[in-house]
Amino acid sequence: MSKNHSKFFKKKHLNLSLICLILIASLLYLTIPSSAIQDDFKKSLPPLQKHSLPVSLSKWHEQSYSGDYFNQIKQTLDGYLIWSNFPIKIYLDRPSNPNESSASTRRFNQWVNAIEKAIDDWNNYLPMTEVAQPDTADIIIKRANPPLGTTVDPETGKLQIPRARSAQTRYEFYIKNERLFHKMQIQISPGLGDLSILSAARHELGHALGIWGHSLEKTDALYFSQVANPPKISARDINTLKKVYEQPTRLGWSLPNQ
Ligand SMILES: [Zn+2]
């Protein structure tokens, strides 16, 4: 590896680690109950309950258990971010005319192909289907640069501005028919190479499907940083996903009678 390359990787690694730290910090901020207000708020939400395990995950058994990183997964006020209506509806950006031969459409088609491959990979474990309209989707995947978020360095108190983000996943909650649901939005940069789009999509889809945390092992798709050889979905990723789906959540359940 040349000096320039190692410098690049070092920089990139630092940058991505920073993003992951920011994610973890904001997760903690969002997830730690801190006051009586939150207790009151929780009473207005559906009680924590378990959904039955999706068939595809209940079939998943490893002969010799390779471990998991469930202890790295964060809960929200609404419990674990678990889907309960299958197939999960996905909307992804597509070029308006995919058969057009311009370089920009070709690049857009490559982006779509990589996203479709990542969806196929996860589809073995949780069923998903593509929908034509974003407003009917559970997970929206946008071909866009994630916003540059500024955060405060907890040690120095100084503002930190990350150089660039290549991908990001956010969630929001909503109520429909007196039930609590969530929606995910993934943004994946158009400027990435094919392999990076695929690994970013695999990683972010893992978050969107409920793995709201990071692995500390380089061989897992949900490893906290980008690596030179992006891993496929590992048995540990699925062991973790399965454990998440065995947990109680407020999502998908009815609001209490007031
Ligand atoms: Zn991540």
- Percent of the chain past pLDDT 90, that is, above it, reads 67
SS3 state of residue 254: strand
Mean per-residue pLDDT for 41-50? 88
Identify which has the larger pLDDT, 116 or 16. 116
- Cα of 189 vs centre of ligand 1, distance in Å, is 14
> How far, in Å, CA of 214 to CA of 207, rounded?
9
pLDDT at 162: 56
Q: What is the end-to-end Cα distance of the chain in Å, rounded?
A: 64
Å from CA of 67 to ligand 1 middle? 19
Residue 4 CA to ligand 1 centre (angstroms) = 26
Q: How many angstroms does the Cα of residue 187 sit away from the middle of ligand 1?
A: 12
CA of 203 to the centre of ligand 1 (A): 6
Give the whole-angstrom CA distance, residue 196 versus residue 95.
Answer: 20
pLDDT of residue 165: 75
* Alpha carbon of 9 to ligand 1 centroid (Å): 18
CA of 224 relative to ligand 1 center, distance in Å: 6
- With 0.85 as the threshold, say if the pTM is over it: no
The pLDDT of residue 226: 79
- Output the CA 214–ligand 1 centroid distance in Å: 6
Ligand 1: distance of its center to the CA of 102 in Å? 33
DSSP category for residue 236: H
Cα(225) to centroid(ligand 1), Å: 8
CA–CA distance, 47 with 79 (Å, rounded to integer):
10
CA Rg value for the chain: 19
Percent of the chain past pLDDT 70, that is, above it, reads 79
Between residues 154 and 244, which one has the greater pLDDT? 244
Centre of ligand 1 from the C-alpha of residue 20, in Å: 6
Ligand 1 centroid vs 213 CA: distance in angstroms?
7
pLDDT for residue 9: 36
Centre of ligand 1 from the C-alpha of residue 234, in Å: 15
Q: 8-39: per-residue pLDDT in tens?
A: 334 444 344 434 444 444 444 455 555 666 77
Percent helix, strand, coil in the chain, to 5, is 35, 20, 45
